[in-house]
Chain A
Amino acid sequence: MTKHYDILIIGAGSVGVPLAFYLASEKLRVAVLEKEASVGRGQNRAAIGGVRATHSDPAKIAICQESIHCLAAMQEEYGYDIHWKQGGYCYPAYRREEERTFKELLQIQTRYKLNISWLSADAIMRLIPGINPVGLLGGTFSPEDGSASPLLTSDAYFQLARKCGADFYFGEEVREMRIRGKQIEEVRTKGGIYSAGLVINCAGAHAAAIAKLSGQDFPVNPDSHEAGISEPVQALFDPMIVDMRPEKDSKNYYFYQNKEGQIVFCITPHPARNGFDCDNTSEFLPLVVRRMIGIYPRLRGLRIRRTWRGLYPMTPDAFPMIGYNREMENNFLAIGMCGQGFMLGPGLGRILSEIIANSSSAHRFILEQLSPYRSFDSREALQ
């Protein structure tokens, strides 16, 4: 028996789950197909939880500003404590190169009316007591950015979506699509056949494989980053600290203290590790720990609890791909989040639900800017 829905979302992750909720709350009949056993078990579980609007392009800025609204209001509006913490993001500069880059970006960011400013070294030291002062030149700080628990956020959206009538099918890997003309007529899993007015690809790291089932190629290729978490300790500092200095084996790394008191951290390896492998390697901990003690020496006594590795579904220019599939009329793509699915997800869900349900939104411009058919010749500066 074919199950028919208005909307069929493939992937119950950072993007798919909030989108399911916002679409279901527009009175659409929504189903979510997920190959894992519960929500957020793809890359959402690997996200460390940072949420910032301080990007360098209007589309991501708009989406993430919307995300911050959604997450900040979650407790009051819906009663779910998702450990939202508005601690801000701080990019300290220890070299002239970073100082220059940050100040250049600051001009763009202030043009988009983002709340971000340059702080002196002294001000950074007051903001983050204990930060290594040697060679500190200052840095940017954006107080409205913050963090939330990806686990609790996914669960909250999952509960909300269920309450609005969305159906979730777990352990249902999409294996086949039956195409007729420019329509996805059926989506088949091991256990079921589904059809929908609109099929939305939110398959994260596996988005390219899902698109391939209807015959299209989209350049979403994951690379992997490793992350870790410490034991909880008493509050040390509020902001997410992002160190952009490249080194031999790594590029930037970033860490913050979540509401539980745990330090959560992640590093970008250099060169990039392409592929789907998510097994832990021995290099990660010594590499990131040395750099973290370097910038915040007080962490030396902090005990690391666990590490994991997650995928960044990358696109050629490191911007997401959002929009209708030109070759399949009932197919929409919300793919290639480039490791920012968690911060983009809630805002994107809300915006897309307006676009899809009412086909009118002040945010329609993101479809042009993040079109899957763009030229891919620029590059994200703050990835």
Chain B
Amino acid sequence: MQYIKKHPVLDIPGKREVLFTCNGKSCSGHEGEPVSSALIANGIHTFSYHYRNHLSQGIFCANGQCSHCTVLINGIPLKSCITPLKAGMDVRTLEGLPELAESKRKPGKSRSLNDGCDVLVVGGGPSGMTAALELANAGFSVILADDKTRPGGKLLLQTHKFFGSTADCYAGTRGHRIAELLEEQLRVHAGIRILSDTLVAGIYKDRKAGLFIGNKNYALVDFKGLLISAGARERSLIFPGNQLPGVFGAGAFQTLVNRDGVRAAGKIFIVGSGNVGLIAAYHALQAGISVKGICDILPQPGGYKVHADKIRRMGVPLYLRHTVLSAGGNDKIERVTIAEVDEEGNPLLETAKTFDVDTLLIAVGLAPIDEFFEMAQEFGFPVLKAGDAEAIAEASSAMFGGRISGLKMAKLLGKDIKIDETYYEKARVLKSPPGKTYPRQQIELKENFQPIIHCLQEIPCNPCVSICPVNAIQLHPRLHNILDVPEYTGKCTGCMQCVAICPGLAITLARQLDGKRAELVLPYEFIPGFEPGATLPLTDIEGNYLEDGTVEQIRFHKKTRTTLLTMAVSLKNATEIAGIRVQAESETKASENTDLSYVPDNAYLCHCEMVTAGEIRKFIREHAVRDLNQLKVLRVGMGSCGGRNCALLLPKIFRDLGISPETLTPNRKRPLSVEIPMQALINEDTEKSREDL
């Protein structure tokens, strides 16, 4: 069983083990975890063989947004990533079309479940939670519908300490802990009801929402206002082999590893150097998974420089101006091939490198889940967006933005409240992309510890400033907000709190011992498998090896759950050393056999109906397509995701053919947003159906 037993940051809570079967074989998993996680923990990566071409399909989003993880559970095809595991479940790989279970039972009594609230909040992630709190504080009754078993959304997957502002969004606290803090506040609030395992499946003209609850019930909820905080779906990428099991979203990976404690991979490669891709690499290393590299078509890392630097220091190569050419393997990904790109972004095949991996993470961006917004607006309902549904940004920004949206909704519904003008400016700053980079402050080492700050780029973050008990770290006032870069002002007491709290692991403490030697305090977010006296490879800010240092002391900073290592180093490198390499160079070597097979037309664009990019290009050319609905002839947009995923990939296809995507007529999104069994739609009352799932 591939569960993570020890983790440097996460507690591994005792979970109840239950037995279930997969294709008749006995398996065990944790009660209540998604069936998909239990399957992967049991080494099962193929969830179905597609009925069109019999290719194996595995998980992609682990977030209820695609349908690649559909399996037969007790005879009913269900998305396994949103179905909690129960003892005795009969799980089967879906081979071809499912066969409907025989049912000789008479139709049972049907019921309609009706409910109501002032505001229905769709999605209980960082923004939904804070919006619900603001609304409830303003006196409104709130139903918070969330598709997972616990609210928290992506916060639950984040083991890193948060960026942002300490005062406004818990910066410096680890994401999963923030989720707990917010959930506690929600639970005690009389005005808020949390509906877990609940998907909002449709918004209807008669001002009702259809909620699919616990895989077996359907309720119609009246509301006055609607707040869409459903988060984002991960974008996919068009390359041959992208349909192989083991190619999945970085968010899915974080879900498996950090939320469900599944060691979902052994060797991974990551496409995309935004914060999501960078953090996924960090999460992988913490879970004992090796990271062969990260590639990005951009010339610079897409995410914060502190994140990218941290990952490079740990020993993960960043391949910039590179794209993924193909993934290969039989029933599961076995290798990935990348290549440099030219000025136009076209791959240079002669630069191809192949890596042997068992997992490829796609972290090429997110797209808002906001289709209900448009519909609700058309129907004339009071509706607002919050969090990623509104604009893709960090969870810290989502938490703060959620509060603003909650207050705005309260106003929209007639409550006389004033929204603090400074909120908008704060929200703008928290949402800001990284800004300018400055040279590092020159510090002359002394006998006492002083912080060396390797955080050089404008990002919205200030925990080091907030935590320092003597205000010895200040933001250099250029922009006059938390985007400003921190600097040391010369009063350090050596308390080490800034080292422990920095989310970028970008602060060390240094002091001079004599004319040759110095002492450093470095943060370390792994399980120390060594004793004082051990030597560790140390690198500069961007991961270049400088020297081996000797561990003198190992401390554990409990509040931030960060290990602090005091190390003896040379004086000449002391201010340059920024981190510890945890992954040896040999781990990240390319394979000797480069896979040069590259047929871009073979890439699958629609995974619900298995339609290739080549088929789509041909159809667009031959049929002069200007209306995305025409692609339904190829079944693009007709599958279970309702065109929600392929719609993100189609613009590139059209652009490549010289057609501006803005001139195209889009598909219309209709209910249902998730497939619902008929018996659930009428809450059919039969002994069996109650026990079925």
Taking Cβ atoms with an 8 Å cutoff, the residues of A that contact B are 36-38, 41, 45, 130, 132, 134, 151-152, 155, 159, 170, 230-234, 236, 261, 277, 279-283, 285-286, 289-290, 292-294, 297-308
Given known contacts A290-B110, A297-B107, is B75 in contact with A304 (CB within 8 Å)? Answer: no
B677 at the interface (CB under 8 A from A): yes
> B235: shortest Cβ distance to chain A, in Å?
23
Which A residues are CB-close (under 8 A) to B379? 279
Min Cβ gap B241→A in Å is 25
CB-CB < 8 A to A151: which residues of B?
632-633
Q: Does B99 contact A (CB under 8 A)?
A: yes
Contact code string B480-492 (vs A, CB < 8 Å = 1, else 0): 0000000000000
Instruction: Please tell me which one of the listed residues A45, A236, A300, A306 contacts residue B678 in the complex, with CB atoms under 8 A apart.
Output: A300
- Please tell me if the beta carbons of B677 and A170 are within 8 angstroms of each other in the complex: no
Task: Decide: A38 and B204 in contact? CB cutoff 8 A.
Answer: no
Minimum CB distance partner of B689 in chain A: A300
Does B629 lie at the interface of the complex (its beta carbon under 8 Å from any beta carbon of A)?
yes
Contact A170 B626 (CB under 8 A): yes
A306 to B96, CA, bound (A): 21
Q: Are A304 and B676 in contact (CB under 8 A)?
A: yes
Question: Looking at A36, A45, A301, which has the most chain B CB atoms within 10 Å of its CB?
Answer: A301
| Residue from B77, B220, B633, B677 within 8 A of A300 (CB atoms) | B677
Contact A285 B633 (CB under 8 A): no
Of chain A, the residue at the smallest CB distance from B663 is A37
Residues of B within 8 A of A304 (CB): 672, 675-678, 681
Query: Are A38 and B665 within 8 A (Cβ)?
Result: yes
Of B14-22, B205-213, B585-593, which stretch is located at the interface? B205-213
B627 at the A interface (CB under 8 A)? yes
Whether, in the assembled complex, B442 has its beta carbon less than 8 Å from a beta carbon of chain A, the answer is no
Instruction: Mark contacts of B241-279 with chain A using CB atoms, 8 A cut-off: 1 yes-contact digit, 0 otherwise.
Output: 000000000000000000000000000000000000000
Among the interface residues B76, B671, B689, which one has the most CB atoms of the partner chain A within 10 A? Answer: B671
The reply to whether the CB of B202 lies closer than 8 angstroms to some CB of chain A is: yes
B382 → chain A, closest Cβ, in Å? 17
Query: Are B205 and A281 within 8 A (Cβ)?
Result: yes
Contacting residues of chain B (130-174) with chain A, CB-CB under 8 angstroms: none
Q: How far is the CA of A283 from the CA of B632 in the complex (A)?
A: 27
Q: Given A293-B110, A297-B107, A301-B100, list of 20 further CB < 8 A pairs? A: A36-B665, A37-B629, A132-B106, A132-B107, A230-B675, A279-B378, A279-B379, A285-B210, A286-B112, A286-B682, A289-B682, A293-B679, A297-B103, A300-B677, A300-B679, A301-B76, A304-B675, A304-B676, A304-B677, A307-B672
Q: Is B640 an interface residue, CB under 8 A from the partner?
A: yes
**Nearest CB of chain B from residue A131's CB, rounded to whole Å:** 12
Encode B679-693 as 1/0 by CB contact (under 8 A) with A: 101101000010000
- Please give, as numbers and ranges, the residues of chain A lying within 8 Å of B681 by CB-CB distance: 285-286, 289, 304
Partner of B677, one of A38, A236, A280, A301: A301
CB neighbours of B102 from chain A (8 A): 130, 298
Task: Give chain B residues whose Cβ lies under 8 Å from the Cβ of A286.
Answer: 110, 112, 218, 681-682
Instruction: Give chain A residues whose Cβ lies under 8 Å from the Cβ of B630.
Output: 38, 155
B675–A37 CB distance below 8 A: no
Q: Given A41-B629, A298-B103, answer yes or no on A292-B671 (Cβ-Cβ < 8 Å).
A: no
Inside 8 A of A233's CB, which chain B residues have their CB? 97-100
- Measured in the bound complex, the distance between the Cα atoms of B167 and A197 in whole Å is 76
Check B417 for interface membership: any CB of A closer than 8 A.
no
> Contact between B101 and A305 (Cβ–Cβ < 8 Å)?
no
Task: Report if B428 contacts A (CB, 8 A).
Answer: no
Q: Determine which of A132, A280, A303 lies in contact with B77 in the assembled complex, contact meaning CB atoms within 8 Å.
A: A303
**How distant is A171 from chain B, measured CB to nearest CB, in Å?**
8
Q: Which residues of B contact A303 (CB under 8 A)?
A: 76-77, 675-678
Query: Is B423 on the interface with A (CB-CB < 8 A)?
Result: no
The answer, yes or no, to whether B105 is at the interface (CB within 8 Å) is yes
Any chain A CB within 8 A of the CB of B34?
no
A293 engages B682 (CB within 8 Å): yes
- B96: A residues at CB distance < 8 A: 234
**A38 and B679 contacting across the interface, CB-CB below 8 Å:** no
A-B pairs with beta carbons under 8 Å apart, 20 shown: A36-B627, A38-B665, A130-B103, A132-B106, A159-B623, A231-B77, A233-B97, A233-B99, A261-B97, A280-B670, A282-B208, A283-B206, A289-B682, A302-B678, A303-B77, A303-B675, A303-B677, A304-B677, A305-B642, A305-B672
CB distance from A281 to the nearest CB of B (A): 5
Using CB atoms, name the residue of chain B closest to A232: B97
CA distance A230 to B101 in the complex (A): 15
| A282 contact set on B, CB distance < 8 A | 202, 204, 206, 208, 210, 220
In the bound assembly, the distance between CA atoms of A197 and B103 in angstroms comes to 60
Contact pattern, B 329-367, Cβ under 8 Å of A = 1, otherwise 0: 000000000000000000000000000000000000000
Docked CA distance A38–B633 (Å) = 12
**Is the beta-carbon distance between B205 and A37 smaller than 8 angstroms?**
no
Known contacts A300-B678, A307-B670, A307-B671; is A294 also within 8 Å of B77 by CB?
Answer: no
Whether A134 and B684, one on each chain, are in contact in the complex, defined by CB atoms closer than 8 angstroms, is: no
Taking CB as reference atom, which chain A residue is nearest B109? Answer: A290
Residues of chain A within 8 A of B672, CB atoms compared: 304-307
Q: Which residues of A contact B665 (CB under 8 A)?
A: 36-38
Contacts of B679 in A (CB 8 A): 293, 300-301
Partner of A305 from B75, B378, B632, B675 at Cβ < 8 Å: B675
The reply to whether the CB of B51 lies closer than 8 angstroms to some CB of chain A is: yes
Which residues of B have CB within 8 Å of A37?
Answer: 626-627, 629, 665
Q: How far is the CA of A134 from the CA of B51 in the complex (A)?
A: 35
Q: How far is the CA of A151 from the CA of B378 in the complex (A)?
A: 26
Most buried by B among A159, A297, A308: A297
Least CB distance, B635 to chain A, in whole angstroms: 8
- List A contacts of B678 (CB < 8 A): 289, 292-293, 299-304
Cβ-defined contact, B101 with A280, below 8 A: no
Cα distance, A159 to B622, chains bound together (Å): 10
Docked complex Cα distance between A226 and B308 (Å) = 52
Closest Cβ of chain A: how far from B65's Cβ, in Å?
Answer: 15
- Residues on the B chain within 8 Å of A298, using CB: 100-103
Q: Residue on B with the closest CB to A302?
A: B678
Residues of chain A within 8 A (CB-CB) of B640 are 231, 305
Contact indicator A279/B205 (Cβ below 8 Å) = yes
Chain B residue contacts of A159, Cβ below 8 A: 623
The reply to whether B670 and A306 form a contact with Cβ atoms under 8 Å apart is yes
Q: Which of chain A's residues have a CB closer than 8 A to the CB of B77? A: 231, 303
Nearest-neighbor residue (CB-CB) of B204 within chain A = A282
Residues of A within 8 A of B220 (CB): 282
* A170, B99: Cα distance in complex, Å: 42
CB within 8 Å for A38 and B107 given contacts A279-B205, A281-B204: no
What CA separation (Å) do A38 and B220 show in the bound complex? 35
Let me know if B51 and A306 touch, CB within 8 A. no
Query: B98-128 CB contact bits vs A (8 Å, 1 = yes)?
Result: 1111111111001010000000000000000
Question: Would you list the 9 A-B pairs with minimal beta carbon distance, nearest first?
Answer: A303-B675, A37-B665, A37-B627, A38-B627, A300-B679, A279-B205, A282-B204, A282-B208, A298-B103
Whether A41 contacts B99 by the Cβ 8 Å rule is no
Q: Which of A234, A279, A293, A306 contacts B97 (CB 8 A)?
A: A234
| Most B CB within 10 A of own CB, among A233, A281, A304, A308 | A304
Q: Which of B587-623 contact A (CB under 8 A)?
A: 623
Is the CB–CB distance between A280 and B675 below 8 Å? no
Chain B positions within 8 Å of A277 at CB level: 205
Beyond A280-B670, A299-B100, whether A231 also contacts B205 by CB under 8 A is: no
Contact, CB under 8 Å: B202 / A280: yes
Q: How far is the CA of A37 from the CA of B623 in the complex (A)?
A: 13
Bound state CA distance, A38 and B629, in angstroms? 8
Q: Within 8 Å CB of B210, what residues of A?
A: 282, 285
Q: Interface centre among B75, B210, B679, B681, by most A CB within 10 Å? A: B681
